[in-house]
Structure 1
């Protein structure tokens, strides 16, 4: 029986690794040591504190002669700035830097909300200012209320542009946003049971929803209309373009009638009535809980999990009026999350998800303390040379993930496309990008495409010297490193395989011991670096490291 009861035993290293990987983008030995010995409940609760971003605002260091700098807080009109694609990339750099420098659920949940309310930063969201406001909206509600976000997102300038709702008028309806709102963002379709009837809603409901959303417009200058709760710029309501008639929904929504309104404030009330109607459906709560399960636990499950995990979580979500934290903390503290609720070895949860390129990059950089330029003191090299030219333009694309820019409004296939789901991250098309990440960071140059300086460095010798307790013993060195990097402990055959990168085949272990001790004595790391570079490259590119 799958169980949401809290895990009673303290976290060991295996379970601490599982929680830290699944709940954050920061993965370090020091944080693992903090979690080991804590209860799951205490460890999860420690991740729920909201704190200010380490990096307050993105910066554009270009053009070098007169940088646009903190362009997002400029009083100039958004469309006066050039390089909008570059600037949107810089915003993802800002978001990622905060994500790997804060041990918090906030960033994992913010990205989860992106997978629920998808926009493409380079495929319709508009100017960089509006993408920035969109990201901040997701961040604001990452530890908050999904239903409230589902209301606020309708006046988000980026979303208004991305799904064309700014063009939705009473005499010229545009159903794009209404369709995706029901099909992808909230209740989802369900099984098709007839022409235009998808169980959870009908084509009639899409038409009526489009009328509710009519007249909601993008505001280009970001001045004047500020949301009182989030303090973020929002769009506006053109009352003359809003359909003021009553909206009658299908039996899927109990034939509810939403009374049409004719002032800006009452039209917001109309939106509120619509969202409340959608979120009153049990199917909406279950849709979000299934997404949360797929995001945090594993991509597929059986009827037992549906009955014992998904359904109770959806009831908890409804009982808490769609506050996300009670559901997530219950799930991440549960026996089920740590695979401690049964003895079935075929349904393992730990190590069951293939890492996204975002998770892969974040883990490598945080675990190995990769040195890259400080955005506060060396903005040009961080934003432009390291992140834009290497991470954003080369690594993510080669690894099969354009960050905040999925191919379609459905999002990244890993989170919705059955039967492969997260296996979509790992294919013949993405291998080079994944495998050459560690090599590029060790060399300090882009090895995926032409050999440019990336202004980042992974020091393998420092990692082993500072993080591994027994570096002079090749067996213990490999075992301790594997215990940090992999979900599960490796066996003797794998240790012997990796040991060939330290000790030539047929030679005794003391050859490495002597080599390491020589380095400690004379501080010449030439030989140990060569060996450790190849070892850690092999360990990061091994199948075990692709899983979490």
Structure 2
């Protein structure tokens, strides 16, 4: 049976790698060394401390003659600034640097919440500053309460624009947000039982939910500040709110939510509705299935549904939808490490194809990519490196526009049966995915248009500073493989990779001599060429596509 019992044995390197890459966006040898020998529970708990962002806010270095700078803290109207698309990308660059700078569950869970309460930053979220507030809201609740976020998200200015709820009035209802709120954000559909009706809710429930949501408006100047988060929010307009009682279907026990009597009472009505939705067992199960797909694997059987999903959903309910008790239980469990049956290599570890985002963060953190400092070299970081290379080129060609999925359903890899995460790997995405490491090694965008990216990955420094035996080709390759891959590789694969260091027909000491010669005379020409080729081959190998 599948088991949520805590893993009893200390983490070895294999399990430490599994936890670190699944739970954070910062995958380093140093942190692996820390995890090895720890209990799973202690290692997971070490990731749950929230700390302040390294970068407090994003910076726009354009226009060069008079930069908009820290425009998100400006008192000017958000839509008064030019370059809104660029600014939204800069916000993603701000978030990415913070995620890369800390070893924490916070950033992984923040992105998980983005997959639950999806907006497309370039497809209706409004001005860049509203998107910034939206990301901060997800960050704020990343280690917190999903139900509370499900209440706050309704008055998020970006969400109000994205799903048109700011246009939802008592005399002209707009059901877009209400429909997605039930279908995608919270309880999900369940089995269809009629035209537009499902086991978890009906078309009538959508109509009633739209009435609950009526009258919540975007505040253009961000002057309304949520007292709990300190983040700007929308506001309650009672004149545009439906003033009738809302009666829901049998799916919700025919519950009646009493109409608000004034603008302040609209918040009570909203909370009553969210509490009603979250009182359903299926809502908790929906989130736990999403968590399982995000952290563990895309598909599971009835045993996992019974032994893992159902008890996790009860933990979520028992903790009033605090997310950490569920996630720490899952990531500390025998099941997560595939230690709950007789075959520890058949289910979980290496079972997910990495997203392009995951691929990027692992390469940059493991090899300590030297990219421009966003605090002192703002133009080269935000514009040359992140906007033009990472955002506009790599992630797009690799099939993942960050924070801009094609639809409100999110990234297909997290919901689209039967392919799920296999969607990340296709003939359309291979060029971007495979040219990432090449671009980072030579410091130029080799995908298109071959411009400098002002970032460079140093393979020699990696070998010299991170590996115990860089002079021995077999030990070097084995150690790199043990860092990069979910599972150890066999001798055939080692010998294949060795061809990038040692010419065919030459003995192993050929590489040793090259390495020693480099240490003696500091001429890195031959060493660099061979190490670059090796790292490129090992990153682009099938083994590295999995986690």
Fold shared per TM-score above 0.5: yes
* Structure 1: 5+ residue stretches without partners: none
Which residue number corresponds to residue 167 of structure 2?
167
Deviation at 1:368, TM superposition (A): 0.3
Which residue number corresponds to residue 254 of structure 1?
253
| 1:354-378: CA deviation from partner (whole Å, max 9, x where unpaired) | 1111111001000000001000000
Deviation at 1:346, TM superposition (A): 7.1
Which residue number corresponds to residue 534 of structure 1?
533
| 1:420-439: CA deviation from partner (whole Å, max 9, x where unpaired) | 00011100000000100000
| Structure-to-structure mapping, 1:339-488, within 5 angstroms | 339-344=338-343, 347-488=346-487
| Structure-to-structure mapping, 1:40-439, within 5 angstroms | 40-223=40-223, 225-344=224-343, 347-439=346-438
Deviation at 1:76, TM superposition (A): 1.3
Aligned-partner SS, 1:193: strand
Deviation at 1:517, TM superposition (A): 0.7
1:7 and 2:7 correspond: yes
Which residue number corresponds to residue 26 of structure 2?
26
Deviation at 1:196, TM superposition (A): 2.5
- CA 1:381–1:545: 2 relative to 1, 3 Å: same
State the TM-score, normalizing by the size of structure 1: 0.99
Deviation at 1:343, TM superposition (A): 1.7
Instruction: Provide the rounded CA distance (Å) in 2 between the counterparts of 1:515 and 1:10.
Output: 39
Deviation at 1:326, TM superposition (A): 0.1
| Structure-to-structure mapping, 1:515-530, within 5 angstroms | 515-530=514-529
| 1:175-217: CA deviation from partner (whole Å, max 9, x where unpaired) | 0000000000000000101223210000000000000000111
* Contact 2:470/2:476, CA 8 A, preserved across alignment: yes
Instruction: Provide the rounded CA distance (Å) in 1 between the counterparts of 2:440 and 2:367.
Output: 10
Instruction: Provide the rounded CA distance (Å) in 1 between the counterparts of 2:148 and 2:69.
Output: 33
Runs of 4+ in structure 1 off by over 2 angstroms are 344-347
Deviation at 1:237, TM superposition (A): 1.2
* Contact 2:338/2:345, CA 8 A, preserved across alignment: no
| 1:468-511: CA deviation from partner (whole Å, max 9, x where unpaired) | 10011100000000000000010000000000000011111010
* Structure 2: 5+ residue stretches without partners: none
| 1:352-410: CA deviation from partner (whole Å, max 9, x where unpaired) | 00111111100100000000100000000000000001000000000000000000000
Deviation at 1:126, TM superposition (A): 0.2
Deviation at 1:161, TM superposition (A): 0.3
Deviation at 1:265, TM superposition (A): 1.2
Deviation at 1:345, TM superposition (A): 6.0
Instruction: Provide the rounded CA distance (Å) in 2 between the counterparts of 1:342 and 1:478.
Output: 31
Instruction: Provide the rounded CA distance (Å) in 1 between the counterparts of 2:28 and 2:344.
Output: 28
Instruction: Provide the rounded CA distance (Å) in 1 between the counterparts of 2:326 and 2:381.
Output: 37
| 1:33-58: CA deviation from partner (whole Å, max 9, x where unpaired) | 01001000000000000000011110
* Contact 2:58/2:90, CA 8 A, preserved across alignment: yes
* Contact 2:165/2:176, CA 8 A, preserved across alignment: yes
1:507 and 2:506 correspond: yes
Deviation at 1:170, TM superposition (A): 0.6
* Contact 2:354/2:545, CA 8 A, preserved across alignment: yes
Aligned-partner SS, 2:75: coil
Larger CA deviation: 403-412 vs 339-348? 339-348
* Contact 2:514/2:526, CA 8 A, preserved across alignment: yes
Aligned length: 547
| 1:274-297: CA deviation from partner (whole Å, max 9, x where unpaired) | 000000000000000000000000
Deviation at 1:351, TM superposition (A): 0.5
Instruction: Provide the rounded CA distance (Å) in 1 between the counterparts of 2:140 and 2:117.
Output: 14
* Contact 2:338/2:344, CA 8 A, preserved across alignment: no
Deviation at 1:262, TM superposition (A): 2.6
State the TM-score, normalizing by the size of structure 2: 0.99
- CA 1:466–1:346: 2 relative to 1, 3 Å: closer
